[in-house]
Structure 1
């Protein structure tokens, strides 16, 4: 059963960017429900602390953490014990902690359904099943059957609408923004992601 507290804020790919996430959370209404759109892990420099923060919010009933392709890749690697050295999350957590995280990652849902909208990491396939890696085929053929669909997965310069699809990954780990989108009001809240040389030069997107 989905929790509905006032409004919802769907948060794009965090990728271990702890400080931007803390800044974003401080900018959002405290009683609204957060939906992390997957890829909380990998790439960033503070992955374990980011995972702990998001999981604490989930345990408190304040948030839902959806599975992204990076979570799925780590699940697959841990289950098969293959290619683990290629995962930044595994490297930062260490073997013992990563094994402890596996049951939590395995229970992450694929979809969050609201009133007239839903959130999933990347989209749905032709059969209407969540697909954690899909891009153009979903954007080009979505028929509106699930209402408005909010997705991350593909970094964009800004939050972008493609018909009934809202893309909210704005590349925080690449120097873009970390974005939150409210499907009830169409509002967007953004904070600066990882600071890059381009951002320091004054050409960042935020």
Structure 2
């Protein structure tokens, strides 16, 4: 059985259906399909997209799943009155839908990271201090909070850029916030693993800043697995040894991309007809 990973959907329903149908038509044996998170928001039909992935997952006996992205967590926070909606959000139909609560309950029980067949799937990044086993263990701490009875209380303390650096002694809300920021928001950090969230649209940092893409930090401890991620549309498609980047800007008029993990074959659907509000994230 093959495994395909699809990049950020961000509410682009028609392209999602088209790409999944191409994958299913290609394979004689039903494949596993994983998503890099950010299923919703900014695109034209977040509700239909979330319903579609939910239905796929429910019917798949575990073959279809997604990690959580920052936009997915934002939906949960908005729904609970923890964060205001942004002008560029396209979440209102989910919030108003009769099945909205059930969809969001399913969403909050999705993993923060998936480790399978030598591949580590996250939405944003992995701090250079973490190996795959530690990343999975820390992801599990956030998953437990999201699945627990006080999950809304967790969301209330989830936002903020501090602490910007990981150490094993972090506790409570600060510990969970640091984990969430790394797994869902990380793009640039220092060689010592201090995260920076000021630069969002660039794929390169000023060398004088001391910042670099998290995956280029010398000696990062996930170099023994292939890290698969989305979140970074300015970076685009990247297929390197031990690294796959899959946010190819579908919502910005680019492509929706899928890569087969076994042979790295690529499928793409062009997305020319929709450009969301300004302000990429």
Same fold (TM over 0.5): yes
RMSD, matched Cα: 2.3
TM-score normalised over the length of structure 2: 0.62
Matched position secondary structure for 2:80: helix
Task: Establish whether residue 134 from structure 1 lines up as the match of residue 183 from structure 2.
Answer: no
Cα contact 2:7–2:246 (8 A) shared by 1 = yes
Closer, same or farther: CA 95–84 of 1 in aligned 2, 3 Å: farther
In structure 1, distance between residues paired with 2:224 and 2:57: 24
| Aligned residue number for residue 58 of structure 2 | 59
Closer, same or farther: CA 127–95 of 1 in aligned 2, 3 Å: farther
- Among candidates 117, 125, 128, match of residue 123 of structure 1: 125
In structure 2, distance between residues paired with 1:56 and 1:146: 34
Q: What is the CA-CA distance between 1:95 and the residue it aligns to? A: 3.8
- Shifted more, 144-153 versus 168-177: the winner is 144-153
Cα contact 1:139–1:162 (8 A) shared by 2 = no
- Shifted more, 104-113 versus 150-159: the winner is 150-159
Q: What is the CA-CA distance between 1:169 and the residue it aligns to? A: 0.7
| Aligned residue number for residue 37 of structure 2 | 38
Cα contact 1:13–1:172 (8 A) shared by 2 = yes
Cα contact 1:20–1:191 (8 A) shared by 2 = yes
| Aligned residue number for residue 182 of structure 1 | 260
Matched position secondary structure for 2:228: strand
| Aligned residue number for residue 71 of structure 1 | 72
Q: What is the CA-CA distance between 1:19 and the residue it aligns to? A: 1.0
Cα contact 2:4–2:31 (8 A) shared by 1 = yes
Q: What is the CA-CA distance between 1:183 and the residue it aligns to? A: 1.5
Q: What is the CA-CA distance between 1:146 and the residue it aligns to? A: 5.5
Where does structure 1 lack aligned partners over 5 or more consecutive residues?
1-5, 198-206
Closer, same or farther: CA 133–146 of 1 in aligned 2, 3 Å: farther
Q: What is the CA-CA distance between 1:126 and the residue it aligns to? A: 4.1
Deviations 1:98-133 (A, max 9, x none): 434331121010112211112111111244245200
Deviations 1:127-167 (A, max 9, x none): 42452000133222233356001100001475213552211
